[in-house]
Amino acid sequence: MHNKTPLIRLSKRKALPTSKAWGIRLLAILLSLVFCAVLTMLVTDLNPVKVFATMFQGAFGTVRKTWTTGQEIAMLLLVSVALAPAFMMHFWNLGGEGQILIGGLATAACMILLGGKIPNGILILVMTVSAMAAGAIWAFIPAFFKAKWNTNETLFTLMMNYVATQLVAYYVIIWEVPKGSGKIGIINQSTEAGWLPQIGSYKYLLNILIALAVTVLMFIYMRYSKHGYELTVVGESERTARYVGIKVEKVIVRTLILSGAVCGLTGLLLVGSTNHTITTTIADNRGFTAVMVAWLAKFNPISMILSSALLIFLKRGASEISTMYHLNQSFGDILTGIILFFIIGSEFFIQYQIHFRKKGQ
Amino acid sequence: MKKVLSILLASVLCIGTLAACSTAAPAPAAAEPAQEAAEEAAAPAADLSSVKIGFICLHDENSTYDLNFINGAKEACEELGVEYMIRTNVPEGQECYDAACEMADAGCNIVFADSFGHEDFMIQAAKEFPEVQFCHATGTKAHTEGIANYHNAFATIYEGRYLAGIAAGMKLNEMIESGKITAEEAKIGYVGAFTYAEVISGYTSFFLGARSVCPSATMEVTFTGSWYDEIAEKEGATNLINDGCVLISQHADSMGAPTACETAGVPDVSYNGSTIAACPNTFIVSSRIDWAPYYKYIINCVAAGEAIDTDWCGDISTGSVVLTDVNEAVAAEGTVAAIEEAKAALEAGTVHVFDAAAITVGGEPLTTYMADVDTDPEYTPDTEVVADGYFHESEYRSAPYFDLQIDGITLLDTAF
Amino acid sequence: MAGISGSGQKELLEAIAGLQPVEKGTVTYIEDSGETDELIGKDPLEIAKLGVALSFVPEDRLGMGLVGNMDLTDNMMLRSFREGNSVFTDRSAPHDLAGRVVNELEVNTPGLSTPVRRLSGGNVQKVLVGREISSAPTVLLTAYAVRGLDINSSYMIYDLINQQKKNGVAVVYVGEDLDVLLELCDRILVLCGGRVSGIVDGRKITKNEVGMMMTKLGGKQDA
């Protein structure tokens, strides 16, 4: 019996030249845009180019919108950069949301309890230190358990999120104004005590600069420092790490402290610089979106600037489409999902090659 | 590489072809993104065509709370033929400030926000755009901030609750007469969100309405700690039913309590809209605020160049407080007539919901009360609100401030 | 070290290298001066701190000896990255070492920044061995050094080992091929079922006798 080779066969590629890989990625993005365009036309009867122009409008249409887009990118970027060293170490820190919240809670606590009691400069210093320490502790706990008893870090960090959310909910009720409303409102609105300084007349410039600075520092740390090398080895092969005498437990704890501290910093910026209040939803799922940003950028902090920019552009653009064309907010999310799906799918085609049965095989 | 290039070119061709396809007109009354966005709105003109209004909603149409505002908005704007834009899912943070400013940038001369937590950010935006009117529902700071272009609005929903309470009381009477329950067992359950004045005002007025026709009625209240938490609301309603409550009402935005009632066969008075579709066997009536009258008011003010009231409180006569149709299959006989009679009395001013004679607090009659009308972090009571034999709710500011715990109502928990 | 695969060779080598916790026994390092150091209870870094230059070529090349996704330079840096007082790594020395290893051992690779997992088995082993002997060790442990290698590469490895022996390095060679063992080794320790079956003179023993010791403790035939 003559056995035929299967009609469609997959084989893992050996290696793809970088240009070809990027060609596939670009093609995926283009195809996704075409797909979205067709979908938009079928569902809404609108000119797709106009739809994409509106997306652009939503992100960059006015000076104010551009600044808001910049601030959104900065916040998402900061969280993604926080997750980068942990992910590079193959420690799936899904607790970014909780680490942001606890950092924000520490910040709010300082603003509410110490506002007006100590000089503003010192207050801001205390806020910064406590926010970063709070975030660091929040990440330290799951890291310690993983290092000592090899607990599952994915579950542990996820559950810490819930604890943080409930802590914030509790303190919101304690500090609420007015009684029973469940809201704190803007903290120190008249005195601006503890409000992070604004650079000139630009509300969000400080956030953007801090985010970029931390991104560059993290890139240098991961690529060129001894710590960065150690955590990369631990992530790639724990056995090799032990073989060369790297203290794996110490590296895990150290890296997560860093990761949590940067998330805490994000909480500081969200509470002390942007919103001047705290709610349980102030992190706005950035801790989870950042996972996507980090993976798309292959854990390279500089690449995260691009991937966070892409996601924020899609989000703001989709929101604008929903508002302008009276569509439900979810339509924009559908478009974002399709584009992401295509991008991730392209990774598959970069890893594997499809062979079709040729005649006579 | 050649292959990739040719696919790329083909795709570009596709997109070009698609772009060339002509389009149907976008959805009616959609606002075109203003290209000249940087300019602020000019001083209000004398006609409606110059008015552009923006609406900021906390959630979207899936929340009954925001759906109420959105429906009112569409109704008012389409009736007056005014351009409008709606931004949904705007959280109570800096995003609200950004959204309000973006709307002002886009040429809106009125910006409206629907959730309590939006207030501080609306105030910030109001300070930045003195030519644009910023209107905020449920807020409490307009009368103390002293900013000319910032306004609060609410409605005398307690009157609506009172009328709905009468329907509940009639139902209780029907249950007592049919022998289903004794007079002492006429216990109402209420699922509230927070121990917040608006909620307290709501359940107290509902209770007073029920008690006005069923004197033996009592009430138990449980709080969920959230305006929208379907599971907690369902659990709260179930707990109340298990505790012996024979009728339920709520102040929360999900379908949790009504569905629990439908499952248990316990009559329900809902809020913010009729739940008859999902609960045909238990829904009696619902009260809600109709925001269309307020929207028409502010649009007309801006069109005519007049000032908007700092604190606007609509009532039955302005059409701001409405009841849905009574579900005749469940409501007691004569409910509609009783409601109409009470409504007329409220409008005429012969009956007051918070009549001091009907209220005792800790066994003592109500003669005086200092309410926390001006918002401050220490919750200091500042205004005497009892006069002429009744509690003057929603007169010193549009948002309710009745937060007394009256006799006859038991709070099962006060954690929130 | 001879023995059927899985008789405890891996564990013994890892115990000496400080990678396997030890319950009982000693591993003594005797310096030229006659001083002795106890190696049990110390991890690789502490052993190095004692002044004992111990190199270990493990059986699991890509899973333990090297990091597959890293390039040659970064793999060369595995032993030396801690050097220097700066917080930053210095890749220039490892880069040069990588170049030397590639040249001297004739490693077939597209370049120094190729991830090592892309290299063929023999070349991977050359990189690994090259790195381990570059640190001028005084003790060299190798496990199955030529497993899966072609004949040329195998002989290259044997030459390297002999060179180390000439330099006075204490070489522990764990292998399967008895012919090679008898050729290469001065003393042979035979393991059987995790126990020492015998320690014999490699120059005088016969393959048969070693084979008997591998299968049965003590190796004596039943009377």
Q: Considering only CA atoms, give the Rg of chain C.
A: 18
How close B27 gets to chain A, by Cα (Å)? 6
CA distance B177 to A156: 58
Q: How is A188-253 classified by DSSP, letter by letter?
A: TTTT-TTPPPPBTTBTTHHHHHHHHHHHHHHHHHHHHBHHHHHHHHHHH-HHHHHHTT--HHHHHH
Q: Which residues in C lie closer than 8 A to residue A227 (C-beta atoms)?
A: 87
A202: phi then psi, degrees, rounded to nearest 5: -100, 110
| H-type alpha helices, B194-266 | 197-213, 230-242, 256-264
Find, among C123, C121, C122, C93, the residue nearest to C111 by Cα. Answer: C123
CA distance B97 to B125: 6
* Three-state secondary structure call for residue A320: helix
Chains C and B: 3 or more CB pairs within 8 Å of each other = no
CA distance B70 to B57: 8
pLDDT at B5 over 70: no
The secondary structure of chain C, three-state, reads: CEECCCCCHHHHHHHHHCCCCCCCCCCEEECCCCCEEECCCCCHHHHHHCCCCEEEECCCHHHHHCCCCCEHHHHHHHHHCCCCCCCECCCHHHHHHHHHHHHHCCCCCCCCCCEHHHCCHHHHHHHHHHHHHHCCCCEEEEECCCCCCCHHHHHHHHHHHHHHHHCCCEEEEECCCHHHHHHHCCEEEEEECCEEEEEEECCCCCHHHHHHHHHCCCCCCCC
State the best of B13, B78, B92, B401 to mutate against chain A, taking most chain A CBs within 10 Å. B92
In angstroms, the Cα distances linking A222 to A135, A140, A278, B25, B372 are: 20, 19, 32, 53, 55
CA distance A243 to A234: 11
Work out the burial of residue B322: count CB atoms within 10 Å of its CB; fewer than 13 is exposed, 13-18 middle, 19 or more buried: middle
Q: Any CB–CB contact under 8 A between B20 and chain A?
A: no
CA distance A120 to A124: 6
Interface contacts (A, C; CB < 8 Å) = 55
Burial string for B102-136 (b: 16+ CB within 10 Å, else e) reads bbbbbbbbbbbbbbbbbbbbbbbbbeebeebbbbb
What pLDDT band is residue B331 in, cutting at 50, 70 and 90? confident
pLDDT of B38 reads 37
**Reduced DSSP (H G I as helix, E B as strand, rest coil) percent helix, strand, coil of chain A, to 5:** 70, 5, 25
Task: Pick left, alpha or beta for residue C141 (phi over 0 → left; psi -120 to 50 → alpha; otherwise beta).
Answer: beta
pLDDT, one tens digit per residue, over B51-108 is 999 999 998 887 878 888 999 999 999 999 999 999 998 999 999 999 999 999 999 9
Q: What is the DSSP letter of B21?
A: S
CA distance B371 to B275: 34
Domain range summary for chain B, segments of one domain joined by +: 48-155+292-303+308-313, 157-288+321-355+398-411
Q: Are the beta carbons of B102 and A281 separated by less than 8 Å?
A: no
What is the CB neighbour count within 10 angstroms for residue A138?
31
Q: Identify the residue whose tokens are 């699991």.
A: C60
Residue pair B77/B29 in contact (Cβ under 8 Å)? The answer is yes
pLDDT of B135 reads 95
Query: What are chain B's partners, defined as 3 or more CB pairs within 8 angstroms?
Result: A
Q: Report which secondary-structure segment, H or E, holds B171.
A: helix B157-177
Find, among C51, C43, C78, the residue nearest to C137 by Cα. Answer: C51
Q: Are the beta carbons of A324 and B33 separated by less than 8 Å?
A: yes
Smallest CA–CA distance from C80 into chain A, residue: A244
pLDDT, one tens digit per residue, over B308-330 is 889 999 988 888 999 988 888 88
pLDDT of B26 reads 37
Q: Which residues in A lie closer than 8 A to residue B38 (C-beta atoms)?
A: 62-63
* Three-state secondary structure call for residue A10: strand
CATH 3.40.50.2300 applies to domain B48-155+292-303+308-313:
yes
pLDDT at B21 over 60: no
Q: Are the beta carbons of C67 and A229 separated by less than 8 Å?
A: no
Q: Please list the ranges in chain A whose pLDDT falls under 50.
A: none
How close B355 gets to chain A, by Cα (Å)? 24
* Three-state secondary structure call for residue B318: coil
ipTM: 0.90
Find, among A320, C199, A158, the residue nearest to B103 by Cα. Answer: A320
Q: How is B73-103 classified by DSSP, letter by letter?
A: HHHHHHHHT-EEEEE-S--SSHHHHHHHHHH
Residue pair C1/C174 in contact (Cβ under 8 Å)? The answer is yes
Q: Is the peptide bond before A178 cis (omega within 30 degrees of 0)?
A: yes
Q: Any CB–CB contact under 8 A between A12 and chain C?
A: no
| H-type alpha helices, A11-92 | 18-44, 48-60, 63-88
CA distance C191 to C175: 12
How close C90 gets to chain A, by Cα (Å)? 8
pLDDT of A246 reads 94
In this prediction, residues B232-238 reach a mean pLDDT of 92
Chains A and C: 3 or more CB pairs within 8 Å of each other = yes
Query: What are chain A's partners, defined as 3 or more CB pairs within 8 angstroms?
Result: B, C
Q: Which residues in C lie closer than 8 A to residue A233 (C-beta atoms)?
A: 67, 70, 78
Residue of A226, A236, A245 with shortest CB distance to C67: A236
Helix axes A63-88, A226-236, angle to 10 degrees: 70
This prediction's pTM: 0.84
Q: Any CB–CB contact under 8 A between A227 and chain C?
A: yes
In angstroms, the Cα distances linking A150 to A93, A139, A146, C172 are: 14, 15, 4, 34
One-letter amino acid for residue C220 of the chain: K
Contacts for A185-190: CB closer than 8 Å, 24+ residues apart: A185/A277, A185/B117, A185/B119, A185/B120, A186/A276, A186/A277, A186/B120, A186/B121, A186/B124, A187/A108, A187/A111, A187/A112, A187/A115, A187/A276, A187/A277, A187/A278, A188/A111, A188/A112, A188/A115, A188/A116, A188/A276, A189/A276, A189/B120
Burial string for A161-175 (b: 16+ CB within 10 Å, else e) reads beebbeebbebbbeb
One-letter amino acid for residue A352 of the chain: Y
**How are strands ordered across the β-sheet holding C54-57?**
C54-57, C139-143, C170-174
Output the CA torsion sign for C181, C185, C190, C191.
negative
pLDDT at B358 over 90: no
* CA atoms within a 13 Å half-sphere pointing along the CA-CB vector of A150: 2
Structural tokens at position A89: 């170490």
How close C205 gets to chain A, by Cα (Å)? 34
Q: Identify the residue whose tokens are 């991008």.
A: A343
What pLDDT band is residue B404 in, cutting at 50, 70 and 90? confident
pLDDT of B8 reads 64
Q: Any CB–CB contact under 8 A between A13 and chain C?
A: no
Work out the burial of residue B200: count CB atoms within 10 Å of its CB; fewer than 13 is exposed, 13-18 middle, 19 or more buried: buried
CA distance C28 to C49: 15
Output the CA torsion sign for C194, C197, C200, C202.
negative
Q: What is the DSSP letter of B296?
A: H
What pLDDT band is residue B297 in, cutting at 50, 70 and 90? very high
Q: Report which secondary-structure segment, H or E, holds B135.
A: strand B133-137
Q: Any CB–CB contact under 8 A between B196 and chain A?
A: yes
How close A150 gets to chain C, by Cα (Å)? 18
Q: Which residues in B lie closer than 8 A to residue A320 (C-beta atoms)?
A: 33
With a CB cutoff of 8 Å and minimum separation 6, the contacts of A208 are A70, A71, A73, A74
CA distance C49 to C42: 10
* Three-state secondary structure call for residue A44: helix
Mean pLDDT by 10 residues, chain C (223 residues): 90 92 90 87 89 92 93 93 91 94 91 90 92 92 90 91 92 92 92 90 90 84 56
Q: What is the separation, in whole angstroms, between the first and last Cα of chain B?
A: 64
Find, among A287, A309, A292, the residue nearest to A82 by Cα. Answer: A287
CATH architecture of the domain formed by B157-288+321-355+398-411: 3-Layer(aba) Sandwich (3.40)
